[in-house]
Amino acid sequence: MVQQRPLPADFLIGCATAAHQVEGGIDNDWMRWARDDPARIADGSDASVACDHFRRHREDLRQLGAMHHNAHRFSLEWARIEPRAGCFDGAALAHYAEVLRTCHESGMEPVVTLHHFTLPRWLADNGGVLHPEAPRFFARYAAACAERLGGDVRWWITINEPTVLAFMGYLIGRWPPGEQSLPHMLAVLRALVRMHAAAVTALRRVAVRHGWTAMVSIAHQERPQRAASRASPLDHAAALLPNWVFNRWFLHCCRRGRLLPPVGAGQRVAGLRGSLDYIGVNYYTYDVTHFDLRSPRTLFARQASNPLLPRSTFDWTIDPPAMRDALLALWREFSLPLLVTENGVADTDDELRPAFITDHLNAVLDAVDDGADVRGYLHWTAWDNWEWAEGFTQRFGLIAVNRETQERLPKPSAALYAEICRAHAVPSAAAAQGAA
């Protein structure tokens, strides 16, 4: 008899997606980045078709509803909604209103992201997030989305993984705009904090005016940095700064209402203080961090996976108890409700995913048993999609997609996840291991 651990009442469970990775037909900075130089993408592909989800959203969402998901995270595409500065496209907003309606009709609570890595070209071509008016532009876009869609959205995310965007686009240059500059990365972090604060202010203003409830956060990527050797003070020192800058700095700025050192100098930002109603947590893995004199650009930190544990095809360490520890650490430090806004595994043949899901949901329940207020879990992701610089080479989906026909083919993990959602309970980790 398999032991079942019930999920908390009202626990949100479903999948997370992002517009550019699934919709197809979007003209934004990422589309140009991939088109201008296909060598930037592992398989030379772009997201011009992706999963064709823009056209297939109704069937797609109904399929997830039929799999008993009770929540769904997706992002609004800024480039569609505001194709020219200050000009909002009513048809694009109507499309997302229809997506929201389909979510609700399919029994899924929507979780809506305003910015998931992509920018409209009018902004990207003029400095992107470093444009001095980027916070005002982002707030204007947020207000337009809230006015049109806010009656159907309770859970908002302003920016997905601001620290990852800053790191990939401005420090190591693998993502647009391809810069490799520490000062620029720091400037981008400051800009993203200001954009977040401006958008939260706009969202809350609209919600209050209409009497709607809005829960707002960022989707924070929690990727702990562990010293490679416990005994090495240099490894500990190398892990310290990335841990603060990438895992804690943004959240503490939101708590204190200031741009904290070493990225800022304590400047106050209007609307920032108390700007998180909950913390959206994207958790995948941790890094083993070595001190390395040959890595001055990353402040002498060199990250690796854990050689002693299984790894995904992305080479990310799989260590479920680390997720419990990460959730508990955030809960104890911030006392804010947590929502797992992403967690998943790159796995070509769906060999790792079934146990990954069971073990990580058990880790979430362990954190809940230890007192953490976790409101839900959104698996990354529904469909094998276009994974940024990795193109189609990394497969995170519960559902495979035939690239020629766009046929959707649920994998064994989709059935397992559907059963968890239906039962609102998770087979205990011990039972899952016994069954393996």
d(CA 46, CA 144): 29
Looking at the Cβ atoms of 139 and 164, the one nearer to ligand FCB is 164
Residue 322 Rama label (left phi>0; alpha psi -120 to 50; beta): alpha
159 binds ligand FCB (CB under 6 A): no
Binding residue (CB under 6 A) for ligand FCB from 327, 383, 387, 420: 387
Cβ–Cβ under 8 Å, residues 378 and 71: yes
Looking at the Cβ atoms of 249 and 284, the one nearer to ligand FCB is 284
List all residues 6 or more positions away from 16 whose beta carbon is below 8 Å from its beta carbon.
72, 73, 74, 111, 341, 342, 378, 379, 380, 381
d(CA 16, CA 117): 14
d(CA 238, CA 7): 38
Looking at the Cβ atoms of 48 and 213, the one nearer to ligand FCB is 48
Contacts of ligand FCB in 253-292 (CB under 6 A) = 282
The residue with its CB nearest to ligand FCB is 18
Residue whose token pair is 């995170």: 396
Q: How far is the CB of 117 from ligand FCB (least distance, A)?
A: 7
Binding residue (CB under 6 A) for ligand FCB from 103, 164, 251, 401: 164
Contacts of ligand FCB in 22-61 (CB under 6 A) = none
Looking at the Cβ atoms of 77 and 161, the one nearer to ligand FCB is 161
Query: Taking Cα atoms as reference points, which of 413, 382, 430 lies closest to residue 3?
Result: 430
384 binds ligand FCB (CB under 6 A): no
Query: Taking Cα atoms as reference points, which of 171, 382, 150 lies closest to residue 297?
Result: 171
Query: Taking Cα atoms as reference points, which of 423, 351, 380, 387 lies closest to residue 17?
Result: 380
Q: How far is the CB of 115 from ligand FCB (least distance, A)?
A: 11
Query: Taking Cα atoms as reference points, which of 280, 397, 249 lies closest to residue 342?
Result: 280
DSSP for 322-335, please give it: HHHHHHHHHHHHH-
Cβ–Cβ under 8 Å, residues 408 and 401: yes
Q: How far is the CB of 261 from ligand FCB (least distance, A)?
A: 26
Segment lying near ligand FCB (by CB under 6 A), choices 30-38, 159-167, 228-236, 272-280: 159-167
> Could you tell me the sign of the dihedral formed by the alpha carbons of 30, 188, 287, 436, in that order?
negative
Looking at the Cβ atoms of 356 and 380, the one nearer to ligand FCB is 380
Contacts of ligand FCB in 190-229 (CB under 6 A) = 221
Looking at the Cβ atoms of 282 and 358, the one nearer to ligand FCB is 282
SS (H, E, C) 70-123: CEEEEECCHHHHCCECCECCHHHHHHHHHHHHHHHHCCCEEEEEEECCCCCHHH
Binding residue (CB under 6 A) for ligand FCB from 29, 46, 60, 161: 161
Q: How far is the CB of 396 from ligand FCB (least distance, A)?
A: 6
d(CA 416, CA 420): 6
Binding residue (CB under 6 A) for ligand FCB from 396, 398, 401, 416: 396
d(CA 289, CA 287): 6
Q: How far is the CB of 18 from ligand FCB (least distance, A)?
A: 5
Binding residue (CB under 6 A) for ligand FCB from 249, 278, 388, 417: 388
d(CA 341, CA 218): 10
d(CA 401, CA 407): 6
Q: How far is the CB of 394 from ligand FCB (least distance, A)?
A: 7
Q: Which CB contacts under 8 angstroms, 24+ apart, belong to 396-403?
A: 396/344, 396/345, 396/346, 396/347, 398/15, 398/353, 399/63, 401/51
Q: How far is the CB of 108 from ligand FCB (least distance, A)?
A: 19
380 binds ligand FCB (CB under 6 A): yes
Looking at the Cβ atoms of 102 and 163, the one nearer to ligand FCB is 163
Segment lying near ligand FCB (by CB under 6 A), choices 233-241, 265-273, 380-388, 409-417: 380-388
175 binds ligand FCB (CB under 6 A): no
18 binds ligand FCB (CB under 6 A): yes
Segment lying near ligand FCB (by CB under 6 A), choices 28-36, 147-155, 157-165, 303-311: 157-165
Looking at the Cβ atoms of 118 and 306, the one nearer to ligand FCB is 118
Looking at the Cβ atoms of 201 and 303, the one nearer to ligand FCB is 303
Contacts of ligand FCB in 330-349 (CB under 6 A) = 342
User: On the CB side of 366, how many CA atoms lie within 13 Å of its CA?
Assistant: 20
Q: Which residues bind ligand FCB (CB under 6 A)?
A: 18, 160-161, 164, 221, 282, 342, 380, 387-388, 396
